């Protein structure tokens, strides 16, 4: 089945230790998104790729970076995680970028910072 896969599902990292979360998709969608979701809150868009074009949200901290080496994969790098970065990180894809279309989400990676 076509899907969005996130690894790992649970990640524990130490304060200040870089961490990378990964997302892959078999849907061949051209747009990939990364969201941060804290407990009982709405998903907050961090950035997205429209094909190879990177679009950063204005309030996304510099501590968060992303890479998309090809259509199928997208990575979220947190260079120096703080306690406030503990959250669920959701990857999503959609088939177009001009106007929002239905987004397909992965199961998420829950990040714990100790």
Partner 1 sequence: SQQGEEDPQALSIQEGENATMNCSYKTSINNLQWYRQNSGRGLVHLILIRSNEREKHSGRLRVTLDTSKKSSSLLITASRAADTASYFCATDFTGANNLFFGTGTRLTVIP
Contacts with partner 1, residue ranges (CB under 8 A): 4, 6, 33, 40-43, 45, 48, 50, 55, 88, 90, 92, 97-100, 102-108, 110
Nearest to 66 by CA among 6, 16, 22, 104: 22
State the Cα–Cα distance between residues 70 and 38, nearest whole angstrom: 28
Q: Output the smallest distance, CB 40 to partner 1, in A.
A: 8
Among residues 17 and 44, whose Cβ is nearest to partner 1?
Answer: 44
Q: Classify the phi-psi angles of 40: left when phi > 0, otherwise alpha if psi is within -120 to 50, otherwise beta.
A: left
Q: Output the smallest distance, CB 108 to partner 1, in A.
A: 5
Among residues 14 and 41, whose Cβ is nearest to partner 1?
Answer: 41
Among residues 45 and 86, whose Cβ is nearest to partner 1?
Answer: 45
102 three-state secondary structure: coil
The distance in angstroms from the start CA to the end CA of the chain is 36
Q: Is the preceding omega at residue 24 within 30 degrees of 0, hence cis?
A: no
Among residues 79 and 110, whose Cβ is nearest to partner 1?
Answer: 110
Q: Output the smallest distance, CB 2 to partner 1, in A.
A: 14
């Amino acid at each position: 089945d076509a899907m969005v896969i996130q690894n790992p599902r649970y990640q524990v990292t130490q304060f200040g230790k870089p961490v990378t979360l990964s997302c892959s998709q078999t849907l061949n969608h051209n747009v990939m998104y990364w969201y941060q979701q804290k407990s009982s809150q709405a998903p907050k868009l961090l950035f997205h790729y429209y094909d190879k074009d990177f679009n950063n949200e204005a309030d996304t901290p510099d501590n968060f970076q992303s890479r998309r080496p090809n259509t199928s994969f997208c990575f979220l790098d947190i260079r120096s995680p703080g306690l406030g970065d503990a959250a669920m990180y959701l990857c999503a894809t959609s088939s177009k970028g001009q106007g929002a279309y239905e987004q397909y989400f992965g199961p998420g990676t829950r990040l714990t910072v100790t």
